[in-house]
Amino acid sequence: MLRRLWHWIKGLFQRLLGRNTQVDSSVTTTEEQSPQLTDGEYESLLMELLQGVNDGWSRGWTRGFLTAKNISHSDFVEWLRGFGERLLGGDGVHDELGRRMVLLGDLGIGELSRVAGDVGVRLLRRGEELNRRGSEDAEEEEDAERWFEEGNRLAMAGNFAGAIASWDKALEIKPDDHQAWYNRGVALGNLGQYEEAIASWDKAVAIKPDKHEAWYNRGVALGNLGQYEEAIASYDKAVAIKPDNYVAWFSKGVVLGQLGRHEEAISSYDKALAIKPDLHEAWNNRGLALGNLGKYEQAIASYDKAVAIKPDYHEAW
């Protein structure tokens, strides 16, 4: 009897409303209907939410905001977890974002607050660690610079051994300082320790391959060791980087002369003289090379150039 009465009342309401009030089984819950957002949309939503929380939203206001956005709570939480891991895996410091996430965590609105609070605390801790490391790195950088400058001061005073010791201290802190390696090589060269100097310049050009000064000095040291072919290769590196390095062209000519390659030596001297026409040593050596080739008239003309530039240049006379 009661069941028939309920069906009659239900039918009456359906007739009055003019439609079937039966729930359509194809209709899903609000969360299932929520659209899937992109990363950018989720991030924009999070920033808006955190701004409100920072401005003092209450728990009710925050829940109302989320309800009005009609988003899947579980999807938002899952996205937030991934977003937090991406931030924590990067290099940046996100202290303000971390602070606001902690505020959201303090509101206590379920899983979203728990995840936000956890990410926020981790971001703040990571920020403290990165700031601490940055401060330590800055102090080490200053120490390296002090040792470097001390090495320069000692080298200028002629204390090459002391300068090398100072640059070694700088390089312990900053091993990629190509200038310290280069300066160290120069000091070793001044002490006649050519092999060690070459090793130091090798370090410099490994860090800065276009350090033409290191290539040039390396060539000088190799020449002093009698390794002429290697010296020429080093000079070639120097002039490939800096074609107007007339000293490298001149030095290459000297080594070519040592090997008896006089035509090539003259060509190298000519390169130097095209850049610096008053390089009397190059005119003199050019004359020597021409004499070795039996070109005596040209040799005399070259010597004449040398003494016209430097009348007291007895080697040319």
Give CA separation, 4 vs 10, 23, 250, 282, 302, in Å.
10, 20, 117, 122, 130
Distance between CA atoms of residues 159 and 156, nearest Å: 7
* pTM for this entry: 0.59
More confident site: 240 or 120 = 240
- Using the predicted structure, report yes or no on whether residue 301 has a pLDDT greater than 80: yes
CA nearest 287: which of 255, 253, 312?
253
| Residue ranges in 25-94 assigned as alpha helix (H) | 30-33, 39-54, 59-69, 73-89
163-189 mean pLDDT? 93
Percent of the residues in the chain that have a pLDDT greater than 90, as a whole number: 50
Distance between CA atoms of residues 20 and 13, nearest Å: 9
State pLDDT tens for residues 287-297: 999 999 999 99
